[in-house]
Structure 1
């Protein structure tokens, strides 16, 4: 549905060139709710503006529905962009126009007749829960209601792609949740592919099925949300995940760890069915080692349980290896914890 191939984007201002995107490769499948996350300045907003060609790449290809947007002439590009809706952080509503007229703007530009416009606008206002606000002005609405108007407007031309640029960052947590659930409903009922730009990992956790993590104009990690949350590889990704999932020991626990020769620490990742099976119990029964559970936590992502356990093994190397083999055979992800977590004064 959306594919970026080796995309670069540079801006030149006052003789200085800034490389906003550096070799981006990204693929969004039809039906995805795809999240792109990064800190301020990572390049994520530039990336999403390339998808609807508000910006053109300096180098590389932006493919939508199998065709490079750079190959379109102006008329073809205008037609193609009607298939891409966009909602913004600050709503971008016309304050002088009523809610009905704000939603109707894309249809007026498409020169639809009045009856068709009225039917479509009222249908969308009903869908987003604002059928009673058609005659109101934006100044009379809450932030969440304004964003719902923005969403209705973005859906007016029946797009197959919906782009969301920090669409919830100006909203309180409860309103954010309601907007995210609306986006999830749009994806499910209208079969619209959704691409979300955000700096909030909780947004990714709540509705996305795939995620790409950006830093300094590059994608440093991407994959299914379960894989990225369950086993983040890059430090930046790990820091984002920590904002929504407690998956590491507290400093007080680290300081209390006592180690003996043959003692080793591992992080165990349980996903789905493995999180509810007595795997650790069976491992302890079958292996001659001492086990100390230092940390454990579970969370739910995409209706799948994700569990993290940090465990200390004491025993012979061969028995520890047997235990690790048992865990991996039963679908448990195993990572050795670096030795620098130990407080060596306890040795």
Structure 2
């Protein structure tokens, strides 16, 4: 659906070259809700502007639906862009036009007749929950309502791709959640591929199935959201994950940990069905080991439960080994923490 191959983007200002993007390789499959996350200046907004060729790559190729946008004529590129909708952080509505007219703009540019325009606009306003706001001006709307108008406008030409550039960063948490659910509904009901640019990991957690993490113009990590949340590799990714998943032992607990002969500390990872099973309870009942739970967290990602638990086990070596074997056989990931190190976080 969307593919960037070895893409670079360089800007030149007053004789000084700035590399905004370096060696970008990225693939978004049809039906994905694909998130791109990074701190300010990471290059994520430049990346999304390449997808609809608002920016052209200095080097590399951008493919949409298997076609290299760089090989299109001006006319062909204009036609291709009709298949790509875009919503913006600050809505980009025409304040002098009513809601109805703002949504109708793409259809007017496509030279649709008035009946077609009216039917499509009213259908979209109903879909985004603004059927009663057709005659209102943007100044009369809340931020969330303005973004819903922007979404309706982006959907007017029946695109197969919807690009979202920081679409929720100007909204409060409750409104953000409602907009994200609307995007999820669009993806499911219209089968539209969604690409989201954000600096908020909670947005990725809420609706994305895949994610790419950017830093200084490069993609430093990418994969399924479950993979990246469960096993973040790069320090920047780990920092993002920590904003939505508490994954470290508190200072007070760290100070209270007693290192004793025959004890060990283990990180346990529960994914999916095993997260709802009483595995630790069964282990305690079946094996002669003492269990001290130092940290536990459960979260839901892609409708899958991800549990992370850190425990201290004490007992005879053979008995502890049997207990750990039981846990592993139950589908739980097990990693022993270095015994000389208790000042750690669970990544």
Shared topology, TM-score over 0.5?
Answer: yes
Question: Alignment partner of 2:19: what SS?
Answer: strand
TM-score normalised to structure 2 length: 0.93
Deviation, 1:321, is 4.7
Say which SS state the counterpart of residue 312 (structure 2) adopts: strand
User: Is 1:231–1:269's contact at 8 Å kept on the other side of the alignment?
Assistant: no
Partner of 1:266: 266
1:139, distance to aligned residue in structure 2 (A): 0.9
Q: 1:6 to 1:327 in 2, by over 3 A?
A: farther
2:242 aligns to what?
242
Partner residue of 1:217?
A: 217
Secondary structure in 2 aligned to 1:36? strand
Please give the per-residue CA displacement for 1:267-312, whole angstroms capped at 9, x wherever unaligned.
Answer: 2111110101122233345555433211112122222221110112
Distance 2:334 2:305 in 1: 17
How far residue 261 of structure 1 moved from its aligned partner, in angstroms, is 4.1
Tell whether the 8 Å contact from 1:248 to 1:310 is kept in structure 2 after alignment. no
- Which residue of structure 2 lines up, in the alignment, with residue 314 of structure 1? 314
State whether structure 2 residue 147 is matched by structure 1 residue 147.
yes
Question: Aligned pair 1:43/2:43, yes or no?
Answer: yes
Please give the per-residue CA displacement for 1:45-82, whole angstroms capped at 9, x wherever unaligned.
11111111111112222111111111111111111111
Distance in 2 between residues matched to 1:230 and 1:205, nearest whole Å: 12
Mind listing any 5+ residue stretches in structure 1 that lack a counterpart?
none
| Structure 2 Cα separation of the partners of residues 157 and 112 of structure 1 | 10
In structure 2, distance between residues paired with 1:331 and 1:215: 34
Q: What is residue 179 of structure 1 aligned with on the other side?
A: 179
- Alpha-carbon distance in 2 for matches of 1:315, 1:60: 59
User: Match for residue 25 of structure 1?
Assistant: 25
Q: How many Å separate the matches in 2 of 1:215 and 1:166?
A: 16
> Distance between the aligned counterparts of 2:85 and 2:178, measured in 1?
20
**Number of the residue aligned with 2:205:** 205
Map 1:47-66 → 2, pairs under 5 A: 47-66=47-66
Once residues 71 and 324 of structure 2 are traced to their aligned partners in structure 1, the CA distance between those partners, rounded to angstroms, is: 53
Distance in 1, Cα, partners of 2:129 & 2:23 = 41
* CA-CA distance at 1:200 after TM superposition: 0.8
SS in 1 for 2:104: helix
Contact 1:254 1:341 in 2 (8 A): no
User: For residue 82 of structure 2, what is the aligned residue in structure 1?
Assistant: 82
Provide the rounded CA distance (Å) in 1 between the counterparts of 2:260 and 2:24: 47
- Aligned equivalents of 2:179, 2:214: Cα separation in 1: 24
Q: 1:276 maps to what in 2?
A: 276
Q: Secondary structure at the match of 1:197?
A: strand
Q: Distance in 2 between matches of 1:264 and 1:27?
A: 42
* Paired residues, number: 343
Alignment of 1:255 with 2:255, yes or no, is yes
Q: Paired residue for 2:11?
A: 11
Cα separation, partners in 2 of 1:136 and 1:35, compared to 1, 3 Å: same
Q: CA RMSD in A?
A: 1.8
State the TM-score, normalizing by the size of structure 1.
0.93
1:7-64 superposed Cα distances (whole Å, 9 cap, x missing partner): 2111111222211112112111111111111111111111111111111112222111
Aligned in 2, Cα 1:328/1:220: closer, same or farther, shift over 3 Å?
farther
Question: Once the two structures are superposed, what CA deviation does each residue of 1:128-175 show, in whole Å capped at 9, x if it has no partner?
Answer: 111111111111111011100100000000000000000000001111
SS at match of 2:31: coil
